Structure 1
């Protein structure tokens, strides 16, 4: 059987991976002088509790080529769909591992996305594989689906992006001063961009996210949606109810943010990932 592989940044639950026979390699989290494997020996609750008690902010790092060599070194042909190469060295390390192995059949694919922005592609790839699609066709179809995917999310704070070196001190200062909720999107080139800077309450930011998506839903055919968040159950339910009220036939999924995205987003991120037919 063809192996469908990814990494823990895809935010796929253990249950989903077991159901569709998906294998993931963990990313690394550095926090308070220790190194953890994402999803193996740390979870978001532990991460934020350690930040609270230690005052230290986490960072992330990619699995080194050696980890990928062990991950890829199987007889079965494999397709690895990884976090965007524009924000992580994970893709490059996977390529180095394939080059080192030499005799293994592994297709390494850059998702150009994060979280369920590409987690949804991984699940679809596993479904296609289970339906009997060939290795060659899978490689083509996955790349086509990546071009169709979209994703965006809101944050409560820029604190974690700032401490991770992903926003400037000036951006951080004015965001805190003006109570701005960053509304970010995954661009088609694999980078993050700012859609809006929503001033005011958290509800105003959630409504801005929802309004933007409903405009997309009224314009395009969107059959499947992942609402991805961390401890935002009430807001996620609110979004689902509004989407269902739009009188569109849409398959809705809940997904939980893992430690990699939480490291950069901080508490209570919420977003929507989908693809356009």
Structure 2
């Protein structure tokens, strides 16, 4: 990552975006809870035993803690560019000597801390301006045959917690995001395989995971989900520019859709993710 790109990433994630994610980390964990067991199983299958592992975009540390419990002989370096998220992860891992949380750009930290036998990430790989360069950096910090395991969202249409809500905010059909850095940048498997091929990763495989994205639970589940989606995700970005009346109308449309996904105890939307695995080539 160039200095300019790193500065742009730090500007977004280490300030405003990082702060929102840090405040809402329990909500994002709840939303992805249905995915977590599948990702952990893939990590365990790819790299059992005593390994040096690196987490790309550790967020609040939830996946690092799960991997640490499953692989007690592993040495884990967990990295995030957000100081607030890294701080939360560091605090949660304070009693785990085999987990070290580092704040910084993942490409730079991986190269300085490597080599590693395992790279893993829960939805933290889709935000690089130059993904070929980023995955090439991780390959350069990997031992030959090292494992790479990560999750990412499938198509926009198969994740209505994002697509349907965003369309409700806009009050019209919206096109799917492209390959620019975003939660849906890796929706197309062929594109990801091209990235692997260009950056030194081989034997790639993927698994289709369907789960419930839980956005609110309990007596105030609808209000909680509305607040959550108003701060994070595609809907939140669309809500930044409207006038006061337009925002009010958009929130009413969001609430109506959220209520349709409320079963009385929780608000949940269908969600679809890929779990990728690959090996570092010779």
Whether the TM-score (by the shorter chain) exceeds 0.5 is no
Q: Tell me the TM-score normalized by structure 2.
A: 0.36
Q: Tell me the TM-score normalized by structure 1.
A: 0.37
